[in-house]
Amino acid sequence: MSDIKHLQHEIGRRRTFAIISHPDAGKTTLTEKLLLFGGVIQLAGAVKAKRGRANAVSDWMEMERERGISITTSVMQFPYEGLEMNLLDTPGHADFSEDTYRTLHAVDGAVMLLDCAKGVESQTSKLFRVCKHRSIPIFTFVNKMDRPGRDPFDLVGEVESVLGIGVFPITWPIFRSGTFRGVYHRLDKRVYLFDQELAKSSAKSGAEIAPFKISGVDDPMLRTELGEEGYAQLQEDVELLEVAGDEFDRERFLAGEVSPMFFGSAINNFGLKAFLNTFCELMPSPGPHEANTGTIAADKDEFSGFIFKIQANMNRAHRDRLAFVRICSGRFRRGIKVHHVRTGRDIRLANPTLFLAKERSLVDEAYAGDVIGVFDTGIFEIGDTLTEGSKFEFARIPNFAPEYFSRLVSLDPLRRKQLTRGIEQLAQEGTVQLYRPLRGLAGEMILGAVGELQMEVTKYRLQDEYGVKVRLDRLKYQVARWVRPKEDKTLDVEALHRECPGLVVLDVKERPVVLFEREWAVGFSEERLPDVIFDETAQGVVVRDGQS
Ligand code: G4P
């Protein structure tokens, strides 16, 4: 095979994605099943249990202690039916942080996992918005169908109205006397029946009776399986779906406008095969990425990638950090020299690591779509581009609106310089967001974070690495919006102070941000200032102190 053919073949086998969900929807269970089907693990229960964590601090320390494990599970590469899956973890619970959002900038698609009794929950919406913003394809899997849940049409309606995306159910649940009986695959016209007893006796093959093909929803076989009532309901449901929906539109799916929906039960291995087969068929392999010089094709004959996550080592003896690189084009080989575009330096990456689900192993080769971990001695920042020599840069990963805010109070007034240096460095690195009130006491610092854990990490690292003790006083703000003027207008900072029921601050790049206590205040401000755009991510203009 020629080099380019080989490259294209390898990239074509990659599927790089994340599972987005609210805690408890079944993400760990689904991940485990993927590994089980991929032959990586033999028994359910092998994925590290993540429950029983008391609070953010101990949680993080625990994560540190079990470092090897937590890092390998943050990216998992595993084979599945001839494909190479790269599953990137989006930590929830106490680990929820800006990293969770940034990870979604490194994937080509997502699986949105819903609990059939709960529908769209808050964390799912937040993660979904990032995916929607990137216009990446999103699959929906409605889990826990073995338990009583909400009406499936209700769930479809909720996803459409709350998340603003079209839904195309590919499988549809069928019931007998109100009890879940299985799913009907609308494209294949196959019925998959659920067997609770089988689920109990076979952990590996699960609760699925071999699917059978039917001639259509009026097949008499279904009448026997579902009883009169269940049969009539399926007829009615499918008719409604046919009336409501067009054909499955692949283009709209790829653009993130319509989500194929599946129903099943992860713990019982039910409905997963139907889902996974369609997932493998529809989920695209790595495509092009936008850079400041134009579009970079995945099969470009030059390695390139960007850093989407930096994990600091908490062990004082090991000051190094691990940077996660999403490869966007070409092939990475161990020992190659890479160009760090922001600093213009050529570097050799130390110990590049691949995160195979079974183990961490040194990279010999990795391709577009893969994620490698490299040791960072302090030169990398989130969003940095690495190439084999070219000078282009990929679009930066934005800052995301924090929801936790604290005033930073130094407990070591004599170590002011160290504090300023430390906090600025941590903010540059993306550990926490730093703001300075536009009108306030000189030197006043406000920290913003997407998750509470980020605050704990910041406090710990300031003391551990910079020798500064601080106190973080929680502020009542919960919403941040970067502000910029509408086209042809200039930003009237005075008006921001006057009209917004919130605090006007500048971020580290001197972009203006307004912090609000409640969501309604954003709408209120938008009405009062029609010439101003309030963004959930940072992309705004720069304002210097005193400008108005
Ligand atoms: P998460 O990572 O999204 O937080 O969810 P996780 O997989 O840990 O699942 C949360 C709970 O839901 C677990 O129960 C898990 O067993 C259960 N679960 C997952 N999939 C299904 C399903 O299809 N049907 C039903 N009925 N339950 C499901 P738990 O009691 O919290 O923990 P465990 O003791 O079972 O491990």
Our answer on whether the CB atom of 84 is closer than 6 Å to any ligand 1 atom is no
Our answer on whether the CB atom of 144 is closer than 6 Å to any ligand 1 atom is yes
Indicate which atom in ligand 1 lies nearest the CA of residue 30. 7
Roughly what angle, to the nearest 10 degrees, separates helices 272-282 and 27-37? 80
Q: What is the pLDDT at residue 52? A: 39
Helix or strand or coil: residue 265? strand
**Cβ density class 473-506: b for 16+ within 10 Å, e for less:** eebebbbbbbbbeeeeeebebeebeebbebbbbb
Structure-token match 């549809």, residue found: 172
Tell me if 362 sits within 8 A of 373, measured CB to CB: no
Domain residue spans in the chain?
Answer: 3-282, 289-387, 404-535
Roughly what angle, to the nearest 10 degrees, separates helices 56-65 and 67-74? 100
Mean pLDDT of the chain: 85
Roughly what angle, to the nearest 10 degrees, separates helices 122-134 and 152-163? 60
Q: How far apart are CA 61 and CA 459, in angstroms?
A: 13
Q: How far apart are CA 388 and CA 178, in angstroms?
A: 60
- The two structure tokens encoding residue 292: 């400041």
For a ligand 1 pocket test, name from 19, 27, 29 the mutation site with the most ligand atoms within 8 angstroms of its C-beta: 29
Helix or strand or coil: residue 329? strand
Q: How far apart are CA 111 and CA 15, in angstroms?
A: 12
Distance 46 CA to ligand 1 centre (A): 14
Cα 312 from chain centroid (whole Å): 20
pTM of the model: 0.87
> Going by CA atoms, what residue is nearest to atom 11 of ligand 1?
24
Our answer on whether the CB atom of 319 is closer than 6 Å to any ligand 1 atom is no
> Going by CA atoms, what residue is nearest to atom 6 of ligand 1?
26
Our answer on whether the CB atom of 27 is closer than 6 Å to any ligand 1 atom is yes
CATH of domain 404-535: 3.30.70.3280
**Of 91, 98, 107, the residue nearest 21 (C-alpha):** 91
Q: What is the pLDDT at residue 188? A: 82
Q: How far apart are CA 74 and CA 77, in angstroms?
A: 10
> Going by CA atoms, what residue is nearest to atom 26 of ligand 1?
144
Our answer on whether the CB atom of 121 is closer than 6 Å to any ligand 1 atom is no
Q: Do domains 289-387 and 404-535 have the same CATH topology?
A: no
**Of 119, 163, 160, 175, the residue nearest 142 (C-alpha):** 119
Our answer on whether the CB atom of 123 is closer than 6 Å to any ligand 1 atom is no
Spelled out in words, what is the top-level CATH class assigned to the domain 289-387?
alpha beta
Q: What is the pLDDT at residue 481? A: 95
Distance 469 CA to ligand 1 centre (A): 40
Indicate which atom in ligand 1 lies nearest the CA of residue 264. 23
Distance 21 CA to ligand 1 centre (A): 12
Pairing of strands 14-21, 109-115: parallel
435 secondary structure, DSSP code: E
Indicate which atom in ligand 1 lies nearest the CA of residue 23. 4
Our answer on whether the CB atom of 21 is closer than 6 Å to any ligand 1 atom is yes
48 secondary structure, DSSP code: P
Distance 400 CA to ligand 1 centre (A): 29
Phi, psi of 251 (to 5 degrees): -65, -45
- Per-residue pLDDT 10s for the chain (548 aa) are 788 999 999 999 999 999 999 999 999 889 888 888 877 766 555 454 444 333 333 344 444 444 433 444 578 888 899 999 999 988 877 778 888 899 999 999 999 999 999 999 999 999 999 999 999 999 999 999 999 999 999 999 999 999 999 999 999 998 888 888 889 888 888 888 887 766 666 555 555 565 656 667 777 888 888 888 888 888 889 888 887 767 889 999 999 999 999 999 999 888 888 899 899 999 999 999 999 999 999 999 999 999 999 887 655 555 667 889 999 999 999 889 999 999 999 998 877 877 776 666 778 899 999 999 888 878 888 999 999 999 999 998 888 889 999 999 999 889 999 999 999 888 888 889 999 998 877 788 999 999 888 898 899 889 988 999 999 999 999 999 999 999 888 889 899 999 999 999 999 888 999 999 999 999 999 999 999 999 988 864 444 333 33
Q: Exposed (0-12), middle (13-18) or buried (19+): which is 133, by Cβ within 10 Å?
A: middle
> Going by CA atoms, what residue is nearest to atom 35 of ligand 1?
267
Residues 348, 350, 356, 361: is their CA dihedral positive or negative?
positive
Three-state secondary structure of 57-111: HHHHHHHHHCHHHHHHHHEEEEEECCEEEEEECCCCHHHCCHHHHHHCCCCCEEE
The string of pLDDT tens digits covering residues 440-453 is: 777 889 999 998 88
Percent of residues in the chain assigned helix, strand, coil, to nearest 5: 30, 30, 40
- The two structure tokens encoding residue 178: 């109100």
Distance 158 CA to ligand 1 centre (A): 22
Q: Which CATH number fits domain 3-282: 3.40.50.300, 3.30.70.20, 3.30.70.980, 3.30.2130.10?
A: 3.40.50.300
Indicate which atom in ligand 1 lies nearest the CA of residue 29. 7
- Quickly list H helices, 135-194: 152-163
Q: What is the pLDDT at residue 72? A: 43
Residue 53: count of CB within 10 angstroms of its CB: 15
Indicate which atom in ligand 1 lies nearest the CA of residue 22. 3
| Residues in the chain, total | 548
Q: How far apart are CA 402 and CA 96, in angstroms?
A: 11
Our answer on whether the CB atom of 147 is closer than 6 Å to any ligand 1 atom is yes
Distance 87 CA to ligand 1 centre (A): 19
Distance 396 CA to ligand 1 centre (A): 36
Q: How far apart are CA 79 and CA 100, in angstroms?
A: 24
Our answer on whether the CB atom of 265 is closer than 6 Å to any ligand 1 atom is yes
Distance 25 CA to ligand 1 centre (A): 7
Our answer on whether the CB atom of 48 is closer than 6 Å to any ligand 1 atom is no
Our answer on whether the CB atom of 458 is closer than 6 Å to any ligand 1 atom is no
Distance (Å) of CA 267 to CA 2, 44, 145: 44, 9, 10
Our answer on whether the CB atom of 25 is closer than 6 Å to any ligand 1 atom is yes
Our answer on whether the CB atom of 272 is closer than 6 Å to any ligand 1 atom is no
Q: What is the pLDDT at residue 198? A: 65
**Of 303, 311, 298, the residue nearest 355 (C-alpha):** 311
> Going by CA atoms, what residue is nearest to atom 17 of ligand 1?
26
**Of 157, 161, 159, the residue nearest 141 (C-alpha):** 159
